[in-house]
Amino acid sequence: MNGKQAGERWEEKIQRAAHPLAYPTLRLLARRGPVVRVPRIGLVVSDAAIAREILLDTEHFSKVGPGSPSDLWTPVLGPAVLLNMEGEDHARLRQALAPLFTPRAVREVVAQNIGNHLDDLAPKLLAGTEIDLVPVVSHLAGTIICVFTGLEPTDNAVRQAMAAAQEVVGLVRLHRRQLTTRQVKRARAILAQLTRSAHDAYERGDPQTVPGRMRELGLSRHEALGAVGAFVLTGTETIQSFIPRLLALAIDTGFASEMLDAGPGRRTEIVDEALRITVPSPAMLRSVRRDTTVGNHRVRTGDRVVIATILCCRAYGPFDPNRSIDSDVRHLWFGAGPHFCIGRPLALAQVNAVLDALQPLQEAGAQLHIMGRRPARGGLIPAYRNLWLRAET
């Protein structure tokens, strides 16, 4: 089995471990056409060009309405978060938050808060230690949660923050249009516990904390706490899933050494190609605002559209960083239009921090090898449960 086949096989295992019924079903639906109507689910789109048109067309499609993200998250987070807003209010809040997510700002956040945690990664590997990368990345993601909620990132706080965020995200399923009353109550309780420190940091107005910076930028307390809650939910499992899968794909296909040793441009190409394969947001939801057509299907106000991003992106073939990415699919995994992921720079900063920490392996003439791995089961975002790595010269 060659590297590309190994990478594909393990990505299939990861997808099926997370969604043993939904993923095979979506693949079967895609064979019936780029747009398929599914009872109880909605209109399923598996074509990148059509998906992009929908995401850019805010006149006919919205994140607010029946079957949209607002149905899931408004009862938990309130109505004023980027996840469930449209129009001028959404643009104003996004503009207010933008200074927190410039490439320079997020590099500073990452360097100040997770750099030290990675200092011993390469030395341990060079000493012959076998390391499970998953808990390493989980700790990094949890540390960033603590930064955004105003928590002091002790080991215990990091573990608790990750567990809490994962529990809330784990409530979401593709077939579930709304959370139950009991689930909403549980999610609110978890987020209230997480954001208590954010409330205190906001009230203090400390510009060294993210909530304090939000106050400094003119956000109300309600907006700031809603934004913190939204970032906790969207920035945990995605980064914990992606970094181990990125390394595994690169090792399987022989691109790991090049990725660690390459300049920023080439590294970005390899990372983007891995994002196309892994897809941080496997599905995106929209509600139809006005009667229109999607492909050859007529949709009416209130209909639900499910963009199967995982199928849209992976339709372009196996992992191959040497191939240019089609414009229809480029960055589609982060969305398109006004809802393009504002947290992308933060995610990439964390990715680059891990890759920079592993770069000494190249200088020492060592290569990474996968000694064992296990897919995680039942999570919203497909991921490895364990990925054991060793460096060999």
Q: At 61, phi and psi to the nearest 5?
A: -135, 145
3-392, which class in CATH?
Answer: mainly alpha
pLDDT for position 235 = 76
Non-local (6+) Cβ contacts of 91 within 8 A are 338
Q: Which residues of 165-179 are buried (b: 16+ CB within 10 A; e: fewer)?
A: bbebbebbebeebeb
Instruction: Quote the CA–CA distance of 110 and 144 in Å, as a whole number.
Output: 8
Cα-to-chain-centroid distance, residue 180:
24
Please report the sign of the dihedral spanned by the C-alpha atoms of residue 37, residue 325, residue 252, residue 245: negative
CA distances from 317 to 220, 252, 276 (A): 45, 16, 10
**How many angstroms separate the CA atoms of 301 and 289, rounded?**
5
Q: What CA–CA distances, in Å, run from 296 to 32, 33, 50, 308?
A: 13, 10, 11, 17
Distance CA 121, CA 114 (A): 12
41, amino acid identity = I
What backbone torsions phi and psi does residue 37 show, to the nearest 5 degrees? -90, 125
pLDDT for the residue numbered 266: 94
Phi first, then psi: give them for residue 191, nearest 5 degrees: -70, -35
Chain center to CA of 61: 22
For residues 390 and 369, the answer to whether their CB atoms sit within 8 Å is yes
d(CA 181, CA 167): 16
Handedness of CA 60, 66, 72, 78 (dihedral sign): positive
Q: How many angstroms separate the CA atoms of 192 and 115, rounded?
A: 29
Query: Looking at residue 325, what DSSP letter applies?
Result: P
Q: What pLDDT score was predicted for residue 375?
A: 96
- CA 110 – CA 207 distance, rounded (Å): 16
pLDDT recorded at residue 158: 85
pLDDT per residue of the chain (393 residues) written in tens, 0 to 9: 566 688 889 999 999 999 998 889 889 988 999 999 998 889 999 999 999 999 999 999 998 888 877 777 778 777 666 667 778 888 888 888 888 889 999 999 898 888 678 999 999 999 999 999 999 999 998 888 888 888 888 888 888 888 888 887 777 765 667 778 888 888 888 888 878 888 888 888 877 777 888 888 888 888 888 888 878 777 778 899 999 999 999 999 999 999 998 888 999 999 999 999 999 888 999 999 999 999 989 999 999 999 999 999 999 999 999 988 889 999 999 999 988 988 899 999 999 999 999 999 999 999 999 999 999 998 888 999 999 999 998
CA-wise closest residue to 301 among 86, 48, 59, 49: 59
Contacts of 67 (CB under 8 A, 6+ apart): 42, 177, 285, 287, 302, 303, 304, 305
pLDDT of residue 175: 63
C-alpha to C-alpha distance for 292 and 204, rounded to whole angstroms: 49
Are the C-beta atoms of residues 78 and 72 closer than 8 Å to each other?
no
pLDDT of residue 174: 59
Question: What pLDDT sits at residue 16?
Answer: 94
Nearest in space to 302 (alpha carbons), one of 312, 323, 288: 288
